[in-house]
Amino acid sequence: MKLRQTPEDFVVEEIPLGTWASVGKYAIYSVTKTGMTSFLARQAFARHVGVNPRNVGMAGLKDKHAKTTQFFSAPAVTPSKGEFTERIISSKLVGYSAEALRTGDLIGNRFSITVRQLNSRDVNRAQKNEAHVRLGVPNYFDSQRFGSLKGTSGFVAKDILCSYYESAVKKILTGIHPSQPSNEKACRKFIGQHWGKWKECIDEVEKRKIRAEIPYVLNYLIDNPTDFVGAFQSAKADIRELYFSAYQSFVWNQCVKKLVKKTEFEVVGINYEAGKLYFPRGPMPNESLKMVSADLDCSVRHRKVIDKVLANEKVTLEQFKNPEHLFVSRVRETALVPSEFSMIISPDERNAGMQKAVLKFVLPKGSYATVIVKALFEL
């Protein structure tokens, strides 16, 4: 079984909140990219428009390993500059708005996913699971949410909540994952072997031309060799935000897993970036479950579940009241119900003798299509 054999096998289109205006302070663009992160797409777009990337608004982040269409906003000074076509990214003006786009300014996403290299057992499993997948599966945060966990032995944010700043910084600088370029792996290994020798480490970084958050943190440590609090704070704000969001999402997933185990259905465990997810072989009952925060206010039933998860994590609710990040107790539904769902099985033209499944559906914002795929095929 193969998911994303090519980027075109995973197509995502944002669904906007409404129609765009014919005039406005901000120009709105439809940006299509293939095999590219949203952050790199924003940089390319900003270069054409002639603005700082921070002045480019985005409604959501889209997967790198896919063909995606999303909306960007930019000040409407010279709107035509935002229209361009490059090898893996293109942009076209679609309208205007009185305000810049912000995260969450969309209804949801439309997906077209081709799962390849299926044998008869894979097909039978998907056909058997289709009925309850249509009715709802656990609304987990999937592996894409936990990119900051790759190559580390735990969550950076959990270290911060526990005041283990040096451990957090070490994860940021030395975490090695198979998906990283060999040059970056070698650099991270060097830093781990020369921990505390910050000048030698930054020389290695400059020699290998490593970017991301590593140079910011190391340059701070050169001037402040043992100040790991400041070193963590020297990482880019959006990167630090990802660390905290990942851990909050992980705790929520752990709570949902406990709710899944309380259903009447048989449960199957499926691996993902942060451990294992559990799916009921039946529709997932829906509940409104809050994300963990220091000022959490929820039902007694949910509080018992959350307390058990935090006890397993060896952290307390009070620790989520942390000066480094404001945790917000947002509500997320525990069941994910795809709309406009269809599944078509046919011969796989890329893999002789095998079959493929073309899945089409719409999900609300903040949900993960790969969770639907996992539930169907028990990947």
Are the C-beta atoms of residues 41 and 134 closer than 8 Å to each other?
A: no
Amino acid sitting at position 313: E
Q: Are residues 102 and 117 in the same domain?
A: no
- Residue 355: inside a domain: yes
**Does residue 350 belong to any structural domain of this protein?**
yes
- Domain end (from 240, 273, 301): 240
Question: In the prediction, which pLDDT does 180 show?
Answer: 85
Q: What is the pLDDT of residue 328?
A: 94
Structure confidence at residue 265 (pLDDT) = 94
Long-range (24+ apart) CB contacts under 8 A made by 229-234 are 229/165, 231/165, 231/169, 232/160, 232/165, 232/168, 232/169, 232/172, 232/324, 233/324
The CATH number of whichever domain residue 336 belongs to comes to: 3.30.2350.20
Residue 213 pLDDT: 78
Residue 298 forms part of a structural domain: yes
- Output the six-digit token pair for 155: 């969550």
Q: Which of 96, 20, 101 is nearest to 55 (CA)?
A: 101
The catalytic residue among 9, 63, 122, 142 is 63
Per-residue pLDDT reduced to its tens digit, 265-304: 999 999 999 999 999 999 999 999 999 999 999 999 999 9
One domain for residues 76 and 132 = no
Whether residue 234 lies inside any domain: the answer is yes
Buried b (16+ CB within 10 A) or exposed e, 307-330: eebbeebebebebbebeebebeee
DSSP 3-state assignment of 331?
strand
pLDDT, position 46: 97
pLDDT at 151: 64
- Annotated active-site residue 63? The verdict is yes
Instruction: Give the list of residues 6+ apart from residue 38 with CB closer than 8 angstroms, or none.
Output: 58, 60, 61, 62, 68, 70
* pTM to 2 decimal places: 0.90
141 and 285 housed in the same domain: yes
Residue 50 backbone phi and psi in degrees, to 5: 85, 35
3-class secondary-structure state, position 94:
strand
CA dihedral 198, 242, 370, 328 (to 10 degrees): 160
Count of the separate structural domains present in the chain: 3
11 within domain boundaries: no
Count, residues in the chain: 379
Nearest to 142 by CA among 244, 298, 322, 274: 274
φ and ψ at residue 340, rounded to 5 degrees: 55, 35
Residue from 311, 277, 313, 294 nearest 158 by CA:
313
For residue 28, give the CATH number of its domain.
3.30.70.3160
Torsion of CA 132, 144, 269, 258, to 10 degrees: -80
Regarding whether 86 and 63 lie in a shared domain, the answer is: yes
Q: Are residues 139 and 278 both part of a single domain?
A: yes
DSSP tag of 311: H
Residues 137 and 98 occupy one common structural domain = no
| Residue keyed to tokens 């095929």 | 377
Residue 346 domain flag: yes
* Residue 139 shares a structural domain with residue 154: no
Look at residues 305, 291, 325, 209 and name the one whose alpha carbon lies nearest to residue 255: 305
Q: Residue 191 is part of a domain; what is its CATH number?
A: 1.10.1510.30
252 part of a folded domain: no
* Structural contact between residues 309 and 289, judged by C-beta atoms closer than 8 angstroms: no
Domain residue limits at 177: 148-240
Is position 89 within any domain? Answer: yes
Neighbours of 152 (CB within 10 A): 18
pLDDT of residue 149: 74
Q: First vs last Cα of the chain: how many Å apart?
A: 9
DSSP β-bridge partners for residue 28: 73, 95
Amino acid letter for position 252: W
pLDDT tens, 210-226?
877 799 999 999 999 99
Q: Does 266 lie in the same domain as 125?
A: yes
Q: Please indicate, yes or no, whether residues 295 and 372 belong to a single structural domain of this protein.
A: yes
* Domain shared by 90 and 165, yes or no: no
Q: Which residues contact 354 (CB under 8 A, 6 or more apart)?
A: 116, 117, 118, 119, 347, 348
Same domain (yes/no): 362, 280: yes
Question: How far is Cα 197 from Cα 222, in angstroms, rounded to an integer?
Answer: 9
Asked if residue 365 and residue 346 are part of one domain, the reply reads yes
Spell out the residues 6+ positions from residue 193 whose beta carbon is closer than 8 angstroms to its own: none
Which residue positions in the chain have pLDDT lower than 70? 150-151
Q: Give the whole-angstrom CA distance, residue 379 versus residue 268.
A: 10
